[in-house]
Structure 1
Amino acid sequence: MNGIARIDEQSVIKAYARWAPVYDFSFGPVADAGRKRAIEIINKRQGSLLEVGVGTGVALPRYAPHLTVTGIDLSPDMLRIARQRVRERKLINIAGIFEMDASELRFENASFDTVVAMYVMTVVPDPVKVLNELERVCAPGGEVLIVNHFAQDHGLRGWVESFMAPAARALGWHPDFRVETITDVTTLDLVETVKLKPFGLFTMLRFRKGEGEPVSGEARESVPAS
């Protein structure tokens, strides 16, 4: 599949069951620059937000209170921490936290004004299918933000990636994931690309869905989006 070694769903669940208790303290700080940049953009928007791969919910307290936020993740261990965070922080703008497969979102077409997937695309078995789902549930005129690591073969970043590859595989990542896997297949308009700290290791892609763009995808048994 697109030259990427396949990761199966159960491997992802098992990997994050191990990492869930320490995720915020280990991987969290490394990923914070990308998370912060995406949240800055999201908080300027209005309406409903879907966070795909909500994990332990580390981003949830940072979303502006005027947003109605829904989070989904495949890992029950991560979601347990996310729900606890929502309760403890009394985050009343969180509409729901659901265990769900990102490649088969149980939401109606065009359900959300903004969709964000941070550090998700490298850990899913079929990133193209997930991308199609992000596009499907995004409303016309809405935005899709993806923050992710994309492989590079040379330079300092290439060396850093090689050094971090064992840790990446332990987290269930595709260390060989390339940006073209996303940009070459989507009908969304790419409006911004931002290299992020540390070392430009992560990238934020900001897409916009056209106002007149038809909504495609299969109808699904849905859960409320808000």
Structure 2
Amino acid sequence: MSVASKYNRIASIYELIDLPLELLFFRTWRKEALSGLNGKVLEVGVGTGRNLKYYPAGCSVTGIDRSTGMLEKALKKTKEMNNINLYLMDAEHLEFPDNSFDYVVTTFVLCTIPDPVKALKEMRRVLKSSGELIALEHVHSSYPFIARIEDLINPILFFLLGDHTTRHTVENIKEAGFTIKEAKKLAFKDVFRKIRAKP
């Protein structure tokens, strides 16, 4: 089953599944990461649209996702927002010209894209040279005990959500040609990170 199919299947209950982490951590991190943005923003993996309310009114936001079910949920949140446009699109094949965006945003997405480096190269392509990638992601821990737990739960989360808990996302971003400006540890030692990178 494809990742898009998995998310179509759970779209109606996704926000409930995610609620404990959303209330404890994610909403605070989203607000902090997105509140200072301006210009043209591409959000890759917009999902049910949880980030949308945190973008300043001055941003022109383009959101993409592979899941029609998740996009339908996000569209309902855009009714009062004139600065948001959403599209069904594959992150590995972005349908935008080079140098189109001031920011590219991913939040808990690089763990699910089948080829994250390919997608990140596309994100770098569509970013302006002065632009920035902002990513909130979970990564494989450098702490052996935590990494072992991630290894154990990885098959379960991949089966349910297409989610990889063992990805080395900071290294993947570098491999795609970005320069890391920040890789801030947020929670569970070094599992959750805020990453800022320049093309």
Compute the displacement of 1:117 (Å).
1.2
Structure 2 CA distance for partners of 1:20 and 1:111, relative to 1, 3 Å: same
Provide, for residues 143-163 of structure 1, a one-character-per-residue CA deviation record: whole Å limited to 9, x for no partner. Answer: 001222211364453254246
- Deviation beyond 4 Å, 4+ runs, structure 1: none
Q: Distance in 2 between matches of 1:29 and 1:133?
A: 32
Residues 34 and 54 in structure 2, CA contact (< 8 A), matched pair in contact too: no
Tell me if the contact between 2:136 and 2:195 (Cα under 8 Å) persists in the aligned partners.
Answer: yes
Instruction: Please point out which of 89, 101, 104 is paired with 2:90.
Output: 101
- Structural RMSD (CA): 2.1
User: Distance between the aligned counterparts of 1:54 and 1:167, measured in 2?
Assistant: 23
Q: Give the direction of change, closer, same or farther, for the CA distance of 1:137–1:31 in structure 2 (3 Å limit).
A: farther
Verify: 1:194 aligned to 2:184, yes or no: yes
Contact 1:43-1:64 at 8 Å conserved across structures:
yes
- Structure having the higher strand fraction is 2
Residue deviations 1:99-118 (CA, integer Å, cap 9, x gap):
00000011111111000111
CA contact (8 A) 1:48 1:114 kept: yes
TM-score, length of structure 2 as denominator length: 0.88
Letter of the aligned partner of 1:19 in structure 2?
I
Aligned length: 197
State the one-letter code of the partner of 2:56: A
Structure 2's unaligned 5+ residue stretches are none
- 1:47 equivalent to 2:47? Answer no
1:183-212, Cα deviation, whole Å (9 max, x unpaired): 441322211111122454311210023xxx
Structure 1 gaps of 5+ residues are 1-9, 210-226
Task: Give the secondary-structure state (helix, strand or coil) at the position aligned to 1:21.
Answer: coil
Structure with the larger RCO, 1 or 2 (CA within 8 Å, 6+ apart): 1
- 8 Å contact kept, 2:37–2:55: no
When normalised by structure 1's length, the TM-score is: 0.78
